[in-house]
Structures are given as C-alpha cells and as structure tokens.
A and B are shown apart, each in its own frame.
Chain A
Amino acid sequence: MLRKLKNPGKQAIRRAEDWLKHLYFAETDHTGFGTEETPAGLDRHKRQSLEILRRHGWIEGNDDHPHLTPEGRRHAHNLVRRHRLFETWLARHTGHQPTHWHRLAELKEHELTDEQVREMEARLGAPLLDPHGDPIPALDGSWHPTRHIPLHRASDGQILRIVHLEDEPQSLLQQLLNYGFYPGALLKVLGRARDNLHLAFEGHRIILPLKLARHIAVAPVDTSLWNENIFKLSFLPKSATACIVRLADDLRGLPRQRLLDLGFVPGARVRVYLISPLGDPTAYDIKGSTVALRSEQSGKILVELCED
C-alpha cells in the first residue's frame, strides 16, 4: 500500500502495460475468441498510458489508432508469457483457488524478472499450455496455436475435449467451474433444446445455457476415447468395485502426485470400506491398504464398474 502511494509511477506503468497487452490481443488473437472488450477502469487512464507506451517506443500512431512497434510486440508477448507461466506455477505449486489465478498473475506479470521467469519455466518443465488452456509463448515469441471451436457450435453426437475456459471475468470462470469443467475434460454433445445444450460429462447429464457454452473452447477428439460408463469415484456405492480409468486433468501438482503414490492409478481396483459417521471422508480399499479421501478428491478420480 505504502509503496503504491509513494511511487505512483509504478502504478502508471502497470496500467500502461495492461494497455499494451490489450492492444497486442487486438492484433494477435491467441485464443480464437476475438478481441476482449477494454477492461473496466483501463479507459480512464488511456491518454496517460498511451503516452507512456509511446515514450518507451512500444506504440506508434495517434490515440485513436495506436499500433504496436516490433519492440512493443516483443514486450507484450513477454508480458503474456510471464502471466501464463505464473498461472501455471500457481496451479501446480500453490493452493490458490482457480478463480484467483488470473488476478494474482495480473499483478505479478509486471514484477517478475526475466531470470525468475526462466527459472520458473525450468522448474515447471517448460509447459506449453497454461491451466486455462492458453498457449504459453516461447522466449522467441512463437506459440502453439490450438485448433478449436466454441462449444455452442459443436454438432450433436460429437465427442469433444475442452481446450480452454474463458478466465475473465472471474464470475464467468466461477460459473464454468461450478459445472466441474476443466481444460482436458472430455464431453459429448447429446442434443440441444432452445437456449440450452445437453451434454454428457463424467457420468452426469448437464444442461448448459448456450450463452455459457460460447466461452468454452473445444476440439473434437476420436470417439474411441469416449467411455460411456465412466463416473466419479465419489458416486461409487458401498458394495461395488470400481476400476480407475483416469485422474481428472485439473488435479495437478502435489495432490495428483499423492494420489498416484497411494496407488490411485488407471486400472487399479477400488472398493468403499467405510464412510465417516459425519458423511465425509470415505475410506477406500486400494492395493492392499485403506485410504480415506474427501469427496472433492474422489470426485476427481474417474472410474467404471468392474467385476469383483
């Protein structure tokens, strides 16, 4: 707080860099979703911000039609790179909520040094996609375009993989997350009725308003990947045995590693042994030991019934 008051320059540069990113996205579309609207609050400082950018030699042209210089483009993609790498870091190495990633990265992208970014990239194993499914540009500015369509344009009966969830604004992302969607998830379009899309998703039927479906980018995948009988381990009834099909992609970092370490690997057989008197957690028999998991975790383990 104090620092901000003492040093208004930093705040102004931050806003200017946000403008730079905005201009960058207007001309280079990473997601195929068209341009974003000018974020609220950015417009108020337009003149000052553009002036700063011009002084850095990052933009040319007048205030109504500014365009990026090569130098400006380089700086912009550097900002995007920092932002997305940091989001990946937050997803894998911290416990922050998915809805907070964007906001935290939005602050941090202005502060990270190149050295820190390089180290982070190495520690992350040079990821190609951020946790929302956006491509992370490489140092030389190249990035990997993903081929996809918005979900509401998908045809009935198609098997799709979610490749991207819109992460702005936070309330929209929260809505999408409430359905349980995550990049990497598989779903099937069953049909549509009026303003809704009917989907099959991890053992559930979901009715999704088309206006939300627009914000989910999907890519068609081979039908052989679809498993009609899949459901979440949290729904396994007490006397049945299930076989694990896979762990959901949004289970990342340490939590994922732990489950694998405990033997929750594809093909492993699971049974419910005990349910806590307070309803949660549930203790499962797995690979000769008994491990209790909370419903949030067992909801990320996808299983199908198998013979005892």
Chain B
Amino acid sequence: MRRLNLKIPGINRCESCGFFHIDGLRSLGSHGEKYDFLIALAGNPNTGKSTLFNRLTGLKQHTGNWPGKTVERKEGFFAYGGHTFKVVDLPGTYSLMTTSEDEEVARNFLVFDRPGVVLIVADATRLERNLNLVLQILQMAPKAVLALNLWDEATRNGLQIDVRHLSRLLGIPVVPTNARSGFGLDKLLQTLSDVATGKITVRPFQLKNLPGNLQAAVEPVRKTLEKLLPDLPYKTWMAIRLLSGDVALTEALRHPEKYFGIVPAASGYEKRFEELTEQVRHIRLRYNDRLYDQLAQAIYSLASGIADKIITRGRTRIHSDLEQRIDRIVTHPVLGFVVMILLLGLVLWLTIKGANYPSEWLNDLLIGDLYPLLKNWTNAWPSWLSGILIDGMYLTTAWVVSVMLPPMAIFFPLFTLLEDFGYLPRVAFNLDNIYKRSGAHGKQALTMSMGFGCNAAAVVSSRIIDSPRERLLAIITNNFSLCNGRWPTQILLATLFVGAMVPGKWSSLVSMAVVVGVALLGVFFSFFGSWILSRSLLRGEVSAFYLELPPYRIPQFWKTIYTSLIERTLIVLWRAVVFAAPVGLLIWLLTHIQAGNVTLAEYLVNLLDKPATWIGLNGIILLAFIIGIPANEIIIPAVLMLIILVYGVDLSGVEKGVLTDVGDMQTLRLLLHRAGWTTLTAVNFMLFSLLHNPCSTTIYTIYKETRSWRWTMVATFFPLLTGIIVLFIINLFF
C-alpha cells in the first residue's frame, strides 16, 4: 500500500531553502514564452512524478485540461545551464497501449508534439512493472532520460539495481533520484540538459525481434510504411499502432506533411495509403483482435527479462522468517481478529482519551484567554463589526480548531504508523470476504476505520482503493463511520438521557454501550449502503480488485509523525477553518437580523418545526444541523445557543447568539427538558447525527477526489435520505 501523497494548499516544500536547493536551477513557474527545449514528463501513477515536476518548475504551474479532454494538463518552465526548458506533465499511466483517455493523451503528445527529451520517472521499488511503460515510451521517443525515483526506499527494501547495466540495455541515461528529499536531482538536471543539447548521445532501445506471430503481422505493415514514407520515425511502433486500430494515427498518416512534416516518397500517396489500410484491416481480421494481447505480453516479458538481469534482491526469499511468523499470527482465524480488535480499539481509545487534555488547553487558550482579550481590544469598534468578526467568525473557528485538531493529531499519526508498518493491508486481507459480499473492497475496512477519526481524511485515503467502483463505494458510504466530531455528541446524549435511566453505578457503562451500538449501527449501514449502491447506481462502474501485501517495515517514527501531521491533519484542519469562519458569520447574522419581530434564527426554527416533527426532531435541532454543516462539532453548541435564544432561558454569563458550551450536566439536562426533549428526541438526535449529510469539508473533499458533481451529490444525499427514512419509520411506531 502506498503512503498518501497529498498536496496541501499553502504548505509546500520551500524551494529556496538550502536543503532543497539545486545549483543552477531556476524555476520559472508558468512564466516563459520562449524555450529552448520541450520536455515531457512521463511515468506510472504514484512514482513521485508530480513532486519532481514541482521541484523543477517551482510552485506556480499552469494547469488546465488537454484540449477536448477531461484529463488535467500541467506545464511549467525552468532554466538550467543557460537554457530554458518547458515541461509538460503527461498523465500518469501504466501503459500507452490501451484506449483510456489518459493513455491516449500521453501517446498522442509523444507522437505528434515530439518533445525534445522525455523524462521518464520510474518507481525503483517496482521497477519491473514500471519498465513496461519505459519500453513503450522508448519506441516513440528520440531522446529520453530515466529517473529511478524512490531510490532510498528501494535500498531500504534490500533491492540492488545495476544502474549502469540498465542504462546500457535501455540505451538512455539512468539517474537514481529521490524527488522528495532532492537526492540526485542535480545530476538528473545535468544529464537532462546534456541529452537535450546533444552532449550525451542516446540510442533508445527499439523493439526488433518480436515473437513469431507478432513479427509475421507487424513486418508487412512496417515494410509498406518504409516504402511509402521512408523518413517516418519509429516505423515498427507505428505499424503496431496501426494494427491496434489507432484511429488518430491512421488519420495523421493520411496527411503526413501536416502531422509529421514528411513529404511522401512517391506520387499517388492517397491511393497507396488506402491500400495500406486495407492491408492492416486484412491482417487484423486474420488475428481476430488478438494482436494487442500478444504485444502486451511481449513487452511485459521483455521488461521482466531486463529486470532479472539488473535487479538483485538483498534477500533470497521474498518473505523473511519473522515476516512469515507475524503473518501467520495476524491472519490467523482466531488470533488475527483478536489482534485486529485490540489494535484498532487501542488506537480509538488513545485518540478519545488522549485528545481531552490538549482540547481543553486549546479551549482555554483560544476561548478562555484570547477571546476576552480580542473582545476587549475591539471595544471601540461598532458592535456589529466586532460581533461578526469576533463572536461570529473567530469564536466558531476557535471552537472547531480546539475540538478537531487534537483528536486528529493523535489519530492520524497512530494510524499512519500501523499503515507504514504494513499491518493495515493485512486487516483488509482478513476482512475482504465480508466486504466482497456487499460489493466493496477489503481496503474499505481501512477507510472506514479512518472515518472514525475524520470522514474527510478517510475520503482522501480512499485513494488506496485502485478500483473505480469500490473506491466510490468507500467514499459514498464513509459518512456512516461515526467521526470524531460526532462521538462527543453521542457520548453526551447517551449519558444525559439513556445513562440517566439506569442506576448510577451502571450509567456510564450503559451509555458507553449505547454509543458503541450507534457506531456499530453505522458499520451496518455502511455495509448495507455498499450492498445497495453496488447493485444499483454503481453497477456500471468498472471493478478491478487487487490488494498488495507489502513487506513489514519498521516505521520511521518521527518522519511518520511529521508527514501525517502535515499531510493529513493540517489539510483537514485547513479546510475546516475555511468553512468554519463563514459559518461563524452566518450564525451571527441569523441571530442578529430581525425578520418581523423575531430574529431570523427564530423565524427559521418555526419554519422548520413542522417538517422536523415528521422525523421526531424539532425545528431547533434541524436548524442546528444546518448550521453545523461545516463541522459536526458545532451542532450541540448551536442547539444550546438556539434553545437559549428561543426559550429565553437566562443563564448568567452567556451571551445571546453566541455558541454555548455548558459544562454542567445538571444545567444541561434542565435546559433540554425545558426545550421539550424526551428520551426519544435524544435517541432520534443520536441517529440523525449518525445518518445525515457529510460536513462541508467532507463534501468538498469528495468533490476534489471524484471530480464529479454527480457522485458528490450522491455522497451527500444518500446518508441524509437514509437518516430521514430511518427516523420517519421510527416515528411511525412511537
């Protein structure tokens, strides 16, 4: 499994810092019109290609779409050694032979735009798989350089790669790199520049002796091309592409002077070209579309042959004794599940328990100390301005930060440690059969557990699921995992209403059991939802399961903590803050703008009261859930605020229209009873808190991840509708 690689707005590696500085490199961002050389950046997904791109061009790149495509196109400029380079980042693909949009874009760029140098980025830890793409690129690149990225990880895994031998076999320079740390980049740039200027000559490996059948099919077409267009480059590859039914290439070859700047050798080209297409069609018919497979297999076995020659494994066996022993325990029919429950339970317990203290400190600092200070400081301002800025925006944001940050800062590093150790894929392996039954991927177990921390982060982590249908399932049903913003609500209400119904010594136990029950109900709904969705809305999506079990590795403790804080915690927090501040403003406006002779909030409460009773709630609760869209943490404080506002309860020290945190249980219970809450209301509230729309941070993240409004809407309304239906049914019976 791959560590998530997130791009964080505003938090980027400093390019001018000494550590990352490369002599002579000047990133030009998106500036530059003239350039000396055009560089295409190609490689498999997840090889660190984007990191390298960012390192070369700096932070500002031009992003847009490829003409007529939905595929993102990134380009940027840099200067090195007195020359300027334009870099175009091709979509990450595993091959260039299939008909997916990504591969089409990459293939056509290489063939028609003819970049001066192709910089290929390969994952050194998965070199054999990556070589497949490398070999294909070499068939249509006049000049290429190969960067063996993630070199440190490969070395750590005990892989030894004979770089010089590889370079000889491929006919291009090969440079080990580590785009993250900057290792090898100076050498890479020097090589790239030398290849571009012609100081280093390259002779990329060309396919020659294809296996029998394939050779018999390709050779006649190649010979015809040779006769028709002697100057055409890469005739073998072009012949292969024609035989694969490449419509774009067929069209381009029909007009060679326009697309390749080549004038046909003899007159009557059009007629002779038609003969060629007839020949191609004839051969294709003879081989019944089977050529593509043979070609793919030929290239894969070639890659495998090269890999065997240049890679020596540090270990003779794939699995060490220790690894086998650990695997035997963690995938044991009984012990495996015991270990799993203990470990995940421990992580959750540490998170919930451990987060209390820093949450309190933050609360004391941001709300206890800083808030009055700010209030004081803005005393002279008009009251509406300080109301909007301090009571509205600041207070809400401070609230969200103090309740959200600590649990995430504990949960994510712990989770990442387990992930880096290699344990989490084993959990997916153990549970996959259960998930399979509901149409989902075993790795959904991981995104689901991650959802107990934060749904938004879990949605991001669903990238580990490579199969489109299962990934959407994981994203859409993730909200059924009770997130950290909702646990406190559940605990509070269970204690106040359910716990209070049993004798004192049992009350904490019972209320805890109720909360766990709610969480399990969420797990049930995520299975049930997956089952329904995979058989209805999602049945047309492609499904391609696989699950890689990486070797166990001692996690790099501090590095893990650092990256998970930066890459998981801060990004989520950042998005939450972005949404919290405007809602703070909204709350302030709701409670201060008059609609007739009541405030807007009261007006809305009255309006929502009727529909709310159909599902066993009330207007205040519904409005609180709407106010709480940016963060579930706000919902309880919003309820209290609204009760105080609507019922005019006078609590000393509490200002009207300000989010309220009442610590005293007794007061709380009185307040809620005063607002007409029954135990049923509380239960309904708990259920609705489990089953409603995701928070805005999550919704936004879902859009970012799926790039589709359709799926974002499904993910938003599916849980909400589930909640409404469940509550409606309950309300019918009670």
Contacts and interface: CB of A to CB of B under 8 A. Distances in A.
Contacts of B289: 127-129
B707 interface: no
Interface stretch (B366-374, B476-484, B535-543, B656-664): B535-543
Contacts of B442: 281, 292
A262 B429 contact: no
Centre residue among B101, B129, B285, B544 by max chain A CB count within 10 A = B544
B95 interface: yes
Interface in A251-307: 253-255, 257-263, 265-268, 273-274, 276-281, 283, 285, 287-294, 297
Contacts of B104: 123
Contacts of B543: 95, 255
Contacts of A254: 100, 467-468, 542, 544
18 contacts: A95-B539, A95-B543, A122-B248, A123-B101, A128-B289, A255-B545, A261-B94, A261-B95, A261-B132, A262-B129, A265-B297, A266-B301, A267-B304, A274-B429, A276-B433, A281-B442, A287-B128, A294-B432
- Contact-residue size bin, chain A (C-beta under 8 Å from the other chain): 35 or more
Top 7 A-B pairs, shortest CB-CB distance: A126-B245, A125-B245, A278-B433, A122-B247, A265-B300, A255-B544, A292-B547
A121 B549 CA distance: 38
A127 B245 contact: yes
Given A127-B245, A254-B544, A255-B544, A280 B331 contact: no
A95 B542 contact: yes
B471 interface: no
Contacts of A266: 297, 301
B541 A278 contact: no
A3 B711 CA distance: 24
A69 interface: no
B542 A253 contact: yes
Contacts of A276: 331, 429-430, 432-433
B60 to A, nearest CB: 33
Given A123-B104, A126-B245, A289-B548, 19 more contacts: A94-B541, A123-B101, A124-B99, A125-B245, A254-B468, A255-B542, A258-B546, A263-B128, A273-B549, A274-B549, A277-B336, A278-B432, A280-B433, A281-B545, A287-B307, A290-B318, A293-B545, A294-B436, A297-B545
B652 interface: no
Contact of A95 (B332, B429, B541): B541
B242 to A, nearest CB: 10
A211 interface: no
A142 to B, nearest CB: 9
Interface in B525-571: 538-551
A95 B430 contact: no
A261 B46 CA distance: 14
B440 to A, nearest CB: 12
Contacts of B331: 274, 276-277
Interface of B: 94-95, 98-101, 104, 126, 128-129, 132, 244-248, 284-285, 288-289, 292-293, 296-297, 300-301, 304, 307, 311, 313, 318-319, 327, 331-333, 336-337, 429-434, 436, 442, 466-469, 538-551
B433 A94 contact: no
Nearest to B104: A123
Contact of A96 (B99, B292, B430, B540): B540
B429 A292 contact: yes
Nearest to A294: B545
A205 interface: no
A283 B549 contact: yes
Contacts of B307: 287
A94 B540 contact: yes
A277 B304 contact: no
Given A128-B284, A297-B545, A95 B540 contact: yes
B99 to A, nearest CB: 5
Interface in A88-120: 92-97
B547 A281 contact: yes
Centre residue among B99, B319, B538 by max chain A CB count within 10 A = B99
B300 A260 contact: yes
A12 to B, nearest CB: 28
A112 B222 CA distance: 36
Contacts, number: 162
B493 to A, nearest CB: 36
Nearest to B333: A277
Centre residue among A92, A290, A297 by max chain B CB count within 10 A = A290
Contacts of A283: 429, 547, 549
A294 B544 CA distance: 10
A107 B245 CA distance: 27
B429 A289 contact: no
A10 interface: no
Nearest to A88: B289
Contacts of B429: 274, 276, 281, 283, 292
A144 interface: yes
Contacts of A128: 284-285, 288-289
A257 B247 CA distance: 21
A268 B547 CA distance: 18
Centre residue among A263, A283, A288 by max chain B CB count within 10 A = A288
Centre residue among A254, A262, A285 by max chain B CB count within 10 A = A254
A292 B432 contact: yes
A267 B304 CA distance: 10
Contacts of B313: 288
Contacts of A262: 129, 546, 548
A212 B365 CA distance: 78
B399 to A, nearest CB: 43
Given A255-B542, A258-B546, A285 B245 contact: no
A298 to B, nearest CB: 11
Given A95-B540, A96-B539, A97-B539, A278 B285 contact: no
B304 A263 contact: yes
A209 to B, nearest CB: 28
Nearest to B126: A289
Contacts of A259: 546
A276 B328 CA distance: 10
A283 B337 CA distance: 18
A278 B332 CA distance: 10
Contacts of A279: 433
B245 to A, nearest CB: 4
Contacts of A261: 94-95, 129, 132
A277 B430 contact: yes
A125 B539 contact: no
Contact of B432 (A123, A144, A280): A280
Interface in A140-191: 144
Contacts of A123: 99, 101, 104
A73 to B, nearest CB: 22
Interface string A181-203: 00000000000000000000000
Given A122-B248, A255-B544, A288 B432 contact: no
Contacts of A268: 304
B547 A291 contact: yes
A283 B327 CA distance: 11
Contacts of A280: 432-433, 436
A97 to B, nearest CB: 7
B532 to A, nearest CB: 16
Contacts of B542: 93-95, 253-255
A252 B85 CA distance: 40
Nearest to A247: B293
Contacts of B319: 273, 285, 290
A258 B544 contact: yes
Contacts of B297: 260, 265-266
Nearest to B470: A95
A257 B285 contact: no
A267 B333 contact: no
A80 B546 CA distance: 36
A246 to B, nearest CB: 8
Given A125-B292, A263-B128, A291 B548 contact: yes
